[in-house]
Amino acid sequence: MRKAFIHIALISLLGGSFYSCKTTKNLQDGQKLYEGGKIKLKETESSKYKNELKRDLEEVNRPQPNEKIAGVRIGLWAHQRVENDRASFYAKWVNKRIGEKPVFLDQVNSNSVKKLMKNRMENLGYFNSKINHEVVEKKRTGYIEFEIRPGRRLHIDSIHYKKVAEQKVDSLIISYLEEEKPIKKNEAFSLQKLKETRTEIADFLKKQGYYYFSSDNLIFEADTISTEKENEAIMELRIKDNASELALVPFKIKEINVFPKYSLDTSQGANNADTTVLYEVEFIQSEVFFRPDRLYPYLFIKEGNFYNPESERYTNKRLNSLKTYRFVNIRYLEDSTFENGNGQLTANIYLSPLNKRSFRSELQAVSKSNNFVGPNLNFEYLNRNLFKGGEALRLSSKLGYEAQLNSGNLSTGLNSIETGVAAELIIPRMVTPFPIEEKFRYSIPKTKFKLSYDLLNRSQWFNLNSFLAVYGFEWNPNIFVTHNLNPVSINYINIGNESEAFENLLSGNPFLARSFEQQFIPGLSYSFQWSQLVRNIKRNRFYFAFSADFAGNALALAQNIGGVTGDNKKFWGQSYAQFSRFDFDLRNYQSIGQESKLVSRIFAGIGLPYGNSVSLPYSKQYFSGGPNSVRAFRIRSLGPGNYQTQDATDGTSFFDQAGDIKIEANLEYRFPLISFLKGAVFTDAGNVWLRNEDGRNGQFTSNWINEMAIGSGIGLRLDIEFFVIRLDVATPLRKPTDNGFQWQDSFEMGNKSWRQENINWNFGIGYPF
């Protein structure tokens, strides 16, 4: 599918009858538009291969006629309007996107097309094909009809390998053919399959040390045709006569040199540098930039081993995942001497580091869907190689202010100031009390230590002090999968300077009061992520994430063993939380055309308080609504269940519209508009619920599907490579009312009060999912 967008097709449908005859009226006498080549397959041997053959023939059926969208040559029409200086703004816009020159019948060289078709059929094993063609002319258009009789397709009876000179490479190839059987007996002939088999054999030999071997050194030939079946052949595989002698020799790694701080400046290269030998590897650096004992475990290339491109690839990936180096370059030098019939290579590993230290400051203007606005100021210092072993130290601080904007005026009574500091140390290896053998080929496992403190001063309500300590691990077994395990996570939250209004709010809402009681959260967390988005490998890609959060279990078990009983256990005089929480996030990204996408998402989360807790801590609860959720509702304004706040402007809804269970579904169609500007049409559905009723009619029941809020809207995205600014506007289609959930029965866009209640604007950075 070419650059034809669905939104353009819809526009063209409106004027289809008007435009349909315009393209042929602009033709000169004798000119006929080409309607394409029509392929008719006759006397096909089997319907099994018919679709494959027709698909391959269509690829060489050139030229393609002018493309039609909804039966209209809209691209050609726009081009003609521009050429004749009669183009409107719409025509110019369409021409810029999908305009195309006319394709005429007399431009088609039918004999060349037939040669291409015959060649393509021979590549598929149809060696006795016949092609006839007929030119069919109409008043203003014409087409060519190709009648094709492919004949019987050649099949492969077996593959025989012809030895070179009893060399080791012969036995390796024979072994590969016998064990892997890349081409099965009686498999249909395919030139592409033979090429793929040559590449597979070459890759196999490279892994056995054949450094100079390539697929071009191999050739398939039809040895004999079976006397029993005319369409079966015995294929002979052999190494070409002109293959280089070095291609038939395996190479071993004789020497390994590592330059931990390499630069094009010779003063920082090999000259005037000290050499440290560790496990037969030479580390050459003028000063100790990276400790050899820390760098050596990341090398998969070993002295004395045969050359293996996989060892090179894994070494490259692991060194790049250190985030210490800008470039990793592995080069091989051939030794002029041979040993025991094997060639010898010197592996030189050049590592060009990033700047060791960096400082970043960032000023943000924040606008939330609950009308809170204000600036944020962030600072970050990064040391990429703290202890000369790839350790990264990140120090950060933040300062933010926000106030709620009501009817164009700032409500100072709802303002807040947030500040915090954090220190994070990332070590590129497993740091554990007990030794763990590292078998991570794809990348380096990382150990993380983090300490942070945050202070939130919410005017006229409370001060919140939050302390967090985390000890955890992250590793990637392959490019698609990421694991995060935090065996130790301690979060302590202290509420102070509580105002009378906040105390009254808690006294009137026992559920909210309980969620603020237990603010000591010792726990363990794990997350798993599988994503096909890291590679554009196919048009239909998936993303799945799972996370589990456990709190207070180890501490409760220790106290139970120690004889401490009851449902209100304390540690150092503090009541601690005890719960389990599980999140599931599944997404699908379906490409439509060249640049459009249909994205769908399903999210489900559940929190289970037990033992020492009757509700989740407030910081662990779910909420719905906002720029990354159900966008037709303000942030934290939806749920739990059928609950509705009486006054969304008093600020109290910020606290209590949360729950223990969350279910959401999203569907969004994304399409290009002009240059970096993208458009979107979306529908969101979701809500949150409580596990235990608290008087707000928000408990999760079997009737949950009837308590799903639904909203739809449109959006604009300024998408500049990895930076996206997003603006969405949405309205509820189904929302909670005094009579339960009801569908929106009218859309009064001209009514100001209706718009204030039902139109919700969302501003965000990045895509919502």
CA dist 761 and 368 (Å) reads 9
pLDDT at 754: 82
682 has a pLDDT exceeding 90: yes
pLDDT at 15: 46
CA dist 393 and 395 (Å) reads 7
Phi, psi of 632, deg, nearest 5: -80, -5
Q: What are the CA-CA distances from residue 671 to residues 41, 93, 590, 665 (Å)?
A: 38, 16, 12, 20
Spatial CA neighbour of 548 closest among 619, 483, 471:
483
125 has a pLDDT exceeding 50: yes
pLDDT at 10: 41
**402-440 pLDDT, tens per residue?**
776 554 444 445 678 889 999 999 999 888 887 776 666
pLDDT at 544: 96
CA 234 to chain centre: 45
**715-726 pLDDT, tens per residue?**
998 887 667 888
Q: What percent of the chain has pLDDT over 90?
A: 37
Phi, psi of 334, deg, nearest 5: -85, 135
Number of alpha carbons in the 13 Å side-chain half-sphere of residue 354: 17
CA dist 36 and 145 (Å) reads 9
pLDDT at 18: 45
308, 313, 318, 321 alpha-carbon torsion, rounded to 10°: 170
Q: How many helices (H) and strands (E) does the chain have?
A: 16, 31
Looking at domain 622-769, does it have CATH number 2.40.160.50?
yes
- Spell out where 462-561 has E strands: 462-475, 481-496, 520-531, 540-551
Q: If pLDDT is split at 50, 70 and 90, which confidence band does 267 have?
A: very low
636 neighbors 598 (Cβ within 8 angstroms): no
Q: What are the CA-CA distances from residue 700 to residues 341, 582, 662, 696, 707 (Å)?
A: 74, 16, 10, 12, 9
CA dist 357 and 395 (Å) reads 11
List the structure tokens of 101. 């020159």
Strand-strand pairing, 579-592 and 574-575: unpaired
**581-608 pLDDT, tens per residue?**
999 999 999 988 778 889 999 999 999 9
CA dist 644 and 653 (Å) reads 9
pLDDT at 406: 52
Higher pLDDT, 41 or 434: 41
Average pLDDT, the chain: 84
Strand-strand pairing, 661-674 and 130-137: unpaired
pLDDT at 229: 63
Phi, psi of 263, deg, nearest 5: -145, 155
Q: If pLDDT is split at 50, 70 and 90, which confidence band does 270 have?
A: low
pLDDT at 225: 63
Other CB atoms within 10 Å distance of the CB of residue 191: 14
162 has a pLDDT exceeding 50: yes
**506-537 pLDDT, tens per residue?**
777 766 676 676 578 888 999 999 999 877 76
- Mean pLDDT value across residues 637-648: 74
Looking at domain 155-248, does it have CATH number 3.10.20.310?
yes
For the ranges 146-155, 484-493, 729-738, 742-751, which has the lowest average pLDDT?
Answer: 742-751
Which one-letter DSSP state was computed for residue 659?
A: B
For helices 110-123 and 191-207, the axis angle rounded to 10 degrees is 50
- Mean pLDDT value across residues 686-692: 88
- Mean pLDDT value across residues 273-282: 88
769 has a pLDDT exceeding 80: yes
Q: If pLDDT is split at 50, 70 and 90, which confidence band does 16 have?
A: very low
**452-478 pLDDT, tens per residue?**
999 988 777 888 888 999 999 999 888
Query: What is the DSSP annotation of 323-365?
Result: SSEEEEEEEEEE-S--BTTBEEEEEEEEEEEPPSEEEEEEEEE
11 has a pLDDT exceeding 60: no
- Provide the CATH number for the domain formed by 254-353 in this structure: 3.10.20.310
Q: What percent of the chain has pLDDT over 70?
A: 87
Other CB atoms within 10 Å distance of the CB of residue 593: 15
pLDDT at 165: 64
195 has a pLDDT exceeding 50: yes
CA dist 91 and 8 (Å) reads 11
**298-353 pLDDT, tens per residue?**
999 999 999 999 999 999 988 998 889 999 999 999 987 888 889 999 999 999 99
Longest CA–CA separation in the chain, Å: 102
303 neighbors 201 (Cβ within 8 angstroms): no
CA dist 57 and 453 (Å) reads 66
59 neighbors 117 (Cβ within 8 angstroms): no
Contacts for 488 with CB less than 8 Å, ≥ 6 apart: 469, 470, 471, 472, 524
CA dist 444 and 440 (Å) reads 6
CA triplet 92, 94, 95: central angle to 5 degrees?
65
- Mean pLDDT value across residues 344-363: 91
Is 0.85 surpassed by the pTM of this model? no
pLDDT at 293: 92
pLDDT at 268: 47
Q: If pLDDT is split at 50, 70 and 90, which confidence band does 369 have?
A: low
**478-514 pLDDT, tens per residue?**
889 999 999 999 988 888 888 777 777 777 776 667 6
- Mean pLDDT value across residues 200-210: 94
CA dist 431 and 445 (Å) reads 10
**540-576 pLDDT, tens per residue?**
899 999 999 998 888 877 777 776 666 667 777 677 8
**71-95 pLDDT, tens per residue?**
788 888 888 888 888 878 778 888 8
What are the boundaries of each domain within the chain?
6-149, 155-248, 254-353, 474-614, 622-769
